[in-house]
Structure formats: C-alpha cells, structure tokens
C-alpha cells in the first residue's frame, strides 16, 4: 500500500533551528511522488562536500527553505543539481553548487546558516532564494512563534538582535525509533497542532510548534500578507527581513562574494488562481481588501533600495505556465515538481555565470 507520508527525520540546533538529521536515507511521498531522501553530514539534502574547495573550482552556495531543500524530487532533479550539472556542461569549468537549504527556514535562519556554516565553505557566490509564500512570516516571532526556530528582532536603533530557540527539544530515543514507522508518521501528522499532540511533545515524539501557521477557521495565515491594509506585525516582519538582507549583503561584501536574491512567487500568483483559492475557503473577494502583488512589489523595491541584485522568477514561470499550461508544483502542496526546478534552474544560470567570471579568471590564471 502507498501511504502519503515522509519518514525523513529532522533535528535542531540553537543556530540553525530544524534541519534534516545528518547521514540518513529515508522515503518521502505524498501520493504523487516517492523519493529516496539522502542527507549529508551537515544535515542538508545534498552530496558530501569538503570544507576546502577543490583546486581550480568555483563554488556557489544556495540558501533557502523547503523549496530549495527539495525532498519532493530526486536529488539529481533539484534546482541545485540541475544548475550545477548544466553550468559545468556550458562552461567546461568545475562549478560546485552547495545546497544549504532547510525546510521551515526563513531569512533569519538563512543568515545564521551563512554565518555559522556557509562562509566556512568558501563560496564564490551566494544565491538566497526568498519565497514570498511564507518567508516574511517565518522571520517574525509573533507570526511564527515556534520554539524550534531562531529569530532576529530589531532594537530601537533598527539593529538586528539574534534570539536562539527558546526551548530545548528533547533528544528522544523513542522519536528515533518511531520516526521511521509510516503509520506513526501518518498519525502524528493528523494530530498536528491539536490538543492531541501534547502527549507526543511530552514524550519527545514531536516538537511544539507554537501558533499554527494555518487558520483552521478561515484562510492560511500567510495570506494576511496580501490584505489591505497590512497590520503592524506584518510591517514589522518586512522591516526585519529587509534588515536581514542588508546584513547578508554586508557580510558578503566584506569578503568580495557576490550575492543574488532569487524571489520565488507562489503558485497562486503564477497561475492567477487567487480568487479561486479564496472561494475554496469561503472568503468573498473584494478588490479593495486584497493586493496579491503587494509582497512581490515590497520585496523588489527593498532589494532595489539596498542595491542587491535580484532575480524575479515570476515572469519566467508565468510565461512557461501560460505557454504550456503545466503547473510547476505538486497538486497536494506548494512544493516544486520537476518542472518547477527546471524553470528555476534555467532562470538562475545566466546570473551565476555573470557573477562568477572573476572566479573563472582566477582558476585560469592558476593553471
């Protein structure tokens, strides 16, 4: 029998938050796909990489959330591997693309991963994939008050203050045993964010996630980022995200490492299905209450003001969908299918080639 579930195990630390348990091989499925997921010693969905780059090679570091982690497709079909393989073929150079993305992460976590791990691997370029679907909420404690996630806030001088996860997650041997049992995973997912989850948390079989990201009486919480007007929590979340992006730029600029922010649209924006989605949730659409392009406009304007190079994925993904009518995401969730990864990879490659010219020059000079 084919059960829609993932037996992937995750752990957490006080800098990165939740990430894949290292050195595991597990199965992830949702009824549309069945993928063998392998993690490396750092707990990323990627091959093993040496800390020091190979001689005459160029390294690109990907930061992102579950879309880039990509446990919904085979590793070789992910945007990371597709980009690496195609850049090597086109350039005839040794280009390594490192996947440092984790499910559930947001800009706060991207910054911490860069500082605590990414810089150690001497990247020649960093691509930060910013998902408009939930990355703004994921960087604000009151909108995403998870005890397993580190956050940043802004002090009175608009400077970033780092906050590690507020609670210790028990390292339960029971969780390690039951985590690989499909039926257990199905039951745990069914009771997620309900009172029935409390005994599982007490036994270390699940992590308390704070406020639910899904408003069971109405619309998903992330959709409030499209409401007119935005409330103060959302405005504060945007300010925090933009401060984080500014800090990422500063850290990389000090090391002469190019940065690109790739802005990922939601599938509802790509396929223009917002009114259909609202109807599904029994919400009547009024044009003066919703602005479905607002997050994208705010982010693009901020990146322009920060002088950060940006790749807006909406035009290329929209053009492909309008031409072929094939979705870039699985029907049962918002994660990219193989086509989504292909389109994203094709879009980002020219930016990478342009940004790492100096790396190519250095490798040529050293030969």
- Give one DSSP letter per residue of 65-120, joined into a string: SHHHH-TTS-GGGSHHHHHHHHHHHHH-SEEEEEE---TT--HHHHHHHHHHTGGG
Count the helix, strand and coil residues of the chain and give each as a percent rounded to the nearest 5.
40, 15, 40
The reported pLDDT for the residue numbered 181 is 46
Average pLDDT, the chain: 87
What residue spans define the domains of the chain?
A: 10-169+207-366
Cα-Cα-Cα-Cα dihedral sign, residues 45, 46, 50, 51: negative
Give kind and range of the element (H or E) at residue 353.
Answer: helix 338-355
Query: 30-39, 187-196, 300-309 — which is least confidently predicted?
Result: 187-196
CATH class of the structural domain 10-169+207-366: alpha beta
**Nearest one of 138, 100, 105 to 18, comparing CA atoms:** 105
- Give one DSSP letter per residue of 127-160, joined into a string: EEEEETTTTTGGG-TTTS--TT--EEEE-TTS-E
The reported pLDDT for the residue numbered 360 is 75
Q: How confident is the model over 20-57, as pLDDT tens digits? A: 999 999 988 888 999 999 999 999 999 999 999 999 99
pLDDT band for position 299 (cuts 50, 70, 90): very high
Cα-Cα-Cα-Cα dihedral sign, residues 246, 251, 255, 258: negative
pTM of the shown model: 0.89
The better pLDDT of the pair 217, 364 is held by 364
Q: What is the mean pLDDT of residues 173-181?
A: 50
| Backbone phi, psi, residue 160, to 5° | -75, 135
Q: How confident is the model over 117-140, as pLDDT tens digits? A: 999 999 999 999 999 999 999 988
Give kind and range of the element (H or E) at residue 60.
Answer: strand 57-63
Predicted confidence (pLDDT) at residue 207 exceeds the cutoff of 70: no
Q: How confident is the model over 238-260, as pLDDT tens digits? A: 999 999 999 999 999 999 999 99
The better pLDDT of the pair 64, 360 is held by 64
Chain mean position to CA 259 = 16
Predicted confidence (pLDDT) at residue 205 exceeds the cutoff of 60: no
């Amino acid at each position: 029998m084919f059960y829609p579930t993932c037996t992937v195990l995750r752990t957490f630390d006080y800098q990165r938050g939740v990430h894949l348990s290292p050195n595991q091989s597990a199965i992830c499925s949702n009824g549309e796909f069945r993928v063998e997921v392998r993690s490396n010693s750092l707990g990323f969905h990627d091959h093993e990489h040496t800390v020091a780059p190979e001689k005459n090679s160029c390294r690109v570091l990907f930061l992102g959330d579950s879309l880039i982690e990509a446990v919904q497709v085979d590793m070789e079909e992910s945007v990371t591997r597709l980009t690496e393989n195609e850049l090597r073929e086109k350039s005839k150079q040794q280009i390594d693309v490192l996947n440092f993305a984790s499910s559930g992460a947001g800009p706060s976590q991207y910054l911490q991963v860069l500082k605590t791990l990414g810089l150690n691997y001497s990247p020649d370029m960093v691509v930060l994939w910013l998902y408009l679907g939930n990355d703004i909420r994921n960087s604000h404690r009151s909108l995403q008050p998870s005890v397993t996630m580190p956050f940043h806030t802004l002090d009175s001088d608009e400077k970033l203050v780092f906050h590690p996860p507020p609670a210790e997650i028990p390292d339960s041997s029971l969780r390690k045993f039951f985590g690989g049992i499909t039926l257990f995973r199905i039951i745990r997912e069914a009771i997620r964010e309900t009172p029935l989850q409390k005994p599982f948390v007490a036994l270390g079989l699940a992590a308390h996630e704070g406020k639910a990201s899904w408003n069971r009486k109405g619309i998903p919480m992330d959709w409030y980022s499209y409401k007119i007007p935005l409330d103060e929590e959302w405005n504060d979340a945007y300010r925090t995200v933009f401060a984080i992006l500014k800090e990422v730029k500063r850290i990389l600029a000090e090391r002469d490492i190019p940065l690109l922010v790739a802005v990922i649209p939601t599938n509802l924006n790509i396929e223009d299905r917002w009114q259909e989605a609202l109807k599904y949730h029994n919400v009547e659409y009024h044009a003066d209450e919703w602005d479905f392009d607002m997050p994208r406009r705010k982010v693009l304007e901020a990146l322009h003001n920060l002088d950060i190079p940006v790749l807006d994925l909406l035009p290329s993904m929209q053009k492909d969908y309008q031409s072929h009518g094939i979705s870039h995401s699985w029907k049962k969730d918002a994660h990219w299918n193989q086509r989504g990864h292909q389109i994203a990879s094709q879009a980002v490659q020219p930016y990478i080639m342009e940004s790492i010219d100096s790396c190519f020059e250095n490798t040529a000079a050293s030969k």
